[in-house]
């Protein structure tokens, strides 16, 4: 099993969620996060310039079986990409085991 963590633009969340459902990834967790990155934003309000280096993003945590890893990553990239700095990052790590609390079963069956 793999854990896929993605940090994406908040404006792309609906498209990513739809793309994940289309490849049968129907369960994942997400959070609103703030981070610092290479994207440099600034704004002017009433003639005063403000630095907005803190960037609002959405963080997704998805655990999938090995056979879903590539299609999950491809779905995220295809739906979250704008081509501009700040599109986000994807991290993949190995999951040793998973358990379903309700039944006590373990392994890949817990993801279905």
pTM of this structure: 0.84
**DSSP code at position 48:** E
Q: What is the spatial distance between Cα 101 and Cα 89, in angstroms, rounded to a whole number?
A: 31
For residue 55, what pLDDT is reported?
78
Beta strands in 46-100 (DSSP E): 48-51, 55-64, 88-94
Q: In terms of DSSP bridges, do strands 42-45 and 48-51 run parallel, antiparallel, or are they unpaired?
A: antiparallel
pLDDT values of the chain reduced to their tens digit, one per residue, 112 residues: 999 999 999 999 999 999 999 999 999 999 999 887 766 666 666 776 655 567 789 999 999 999 999 999 999 999 999 998 889 999 999 999 999 999 999 999 998 8
Nearest to 5 by CA among 57, 83, 82, 67: 57
CATH number of 2-111: 3.30.70.120
For residue 36, what pLDDT is reported?
76
Q: Could you tell me the residue ranges of all domains in the chain? A: 2-111
């Amino acid at each position: 099993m793999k854990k896929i963590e993605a940090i994406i633009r908040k404006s792309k969340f609906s498209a990513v969620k739809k793309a994940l459902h289309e490849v049968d990834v129907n369960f994942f967790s997400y959070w609103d996060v703030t981070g610092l990155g290479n994207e440099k934003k600034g704004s002017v309000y009433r003639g005063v310039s403000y630095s907005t280096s803190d960037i609002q993003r959405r963080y997704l945590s998805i655990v999938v079986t090995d056979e879903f890893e590539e299609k999950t990553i491809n779905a995220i990239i295809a739906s979250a990409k704008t081509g501009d700095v700040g599109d986000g990052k994807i991290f993949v790590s190995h999951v040793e085991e998973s358990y379903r609390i309700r039944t006590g079963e373990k392994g890949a069956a817990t993801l279905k």
